[in-house]
Amino acid sequence: MLPIKTALLFAPKTLSATFLCLTLTAQISTAQTTTTQAATTSSTETDAVPSSRETRLANYLSGTKFVGKFTVDGKDSPPKTETYLISSCEKLPTADLYRFKAHIKYGDIDQEVPLDLKVLWSGNTPVITLDSLWIPTMGTFDARVLIQAGKETGRYAGTWQHGDHGGHMFGKIVPIESDQADSPTDAQNGAPAKAER
């Protein structure tokens, strides 16, 4: 057994070594816990709760009508009328994917379809993005449609492609209940105009 004076001389070294071992063990344990938490977080990011801007966008687009015009490249005719009624829009768990319940009207087409569409963000501006999306009875489409929200009326603008036809599209976004006074009409009979694409 060591005398007390000798034990006190060695005690700081022994305590320092013990403290160092305990500190290293705690740091390793913390690092492992952090790594496990990070792995758990990244695996659930796909199923994450929508961010506030995603929720705001879905709420903004639900119950709206896109009323505007589209052009066809290579034709000198004036732009034609188009309407898209969005009865509901919800953010899906998959990153960048939203479900639009849309009533599409142009030419002989007049149907309501659920569409799972990608919405990408350019800064704080949402862009509806279609890449070779097949829509039943209508065909395959590509499009980029930028959304600009407004207090009472928003705007949309973009490009579209359907097979060998394509062009531009643009118009306003209005709440469904306020669109009656603003909807385009056929100049001859006052009936809502139908677009042909």
Q: What is the pLDDT of residues 4-59, one digit of tens each?
A: 444 444 444 444 444 333 343 344 344 444 444 444 444 444 456 678 999 999 99
63 lies in the same domain as 156? yes
- Asked if residue 160 is part of any domain, the answer here is yes
79 lies in the same domain as 148? yes
Q: What percent of the chain has pLDDT over 70?
A: 64
65 lies in the same domain as 35? no
CB neighbour burial string for 82-97, b if at least 16 within 10 angstroms, e if fewer: bbbbbeebbbeeeeee
Lowest-confidence segment of 14-23, 69-78, 120-129 by average pLDDT: 14-23
Check residue 109 and give its pLDDT. Answer: 78
> How does the average pLDDT of the chain come out, rounded?
76
Q: Alpha-carbon torsion 8, 10, 16, 18, what sign?
A: negative
Please state the domain count of the chain. Answer: 2
φ, ψ dihedrals at 171, nearest 5°: 170, -160
For the stretch 149-162, pLDDT in tens is 988 899 999 999 99
- Asked if residue 72 is part of any domain, the answer here is yes
φ, ψ dihedrals at 182, nearest 5°: -100, -10
Identify the residue with better confidence: 28 or 105: 105
pTM of the predicted model as reported, rounded to 2 decimal places: 0.66
Q: What does the pLDDT average to over 74-97?
A: 94
Identify the domain containing residue 136 by its residue range: 52-178
Q: Is the pLDDT of residue 67 over 70?
A: yes
Residue owning tokens 């993005």? 129
35 lies in the same domain as 107? no
- Kindly report the CATH number assigned to the domain that includes residue 103: 2.40.128
Q: What percent of the chain has pLDDT over 90?
A: 54
- Asked if residue 195 is part of any domain, the answer here is no
Mean pLDDT: which of 27-41, 100-114, 125-139 is highest?
A: 125-139
18 lies in the same domain as 89? no
DSSP 8-state symbol, 180? T
Check residue 80 and give its pLDDT. Answer: 92
68 lies in the same domain as 102? yes
- Asked if residue 187 is part of any domain, the answer here is no
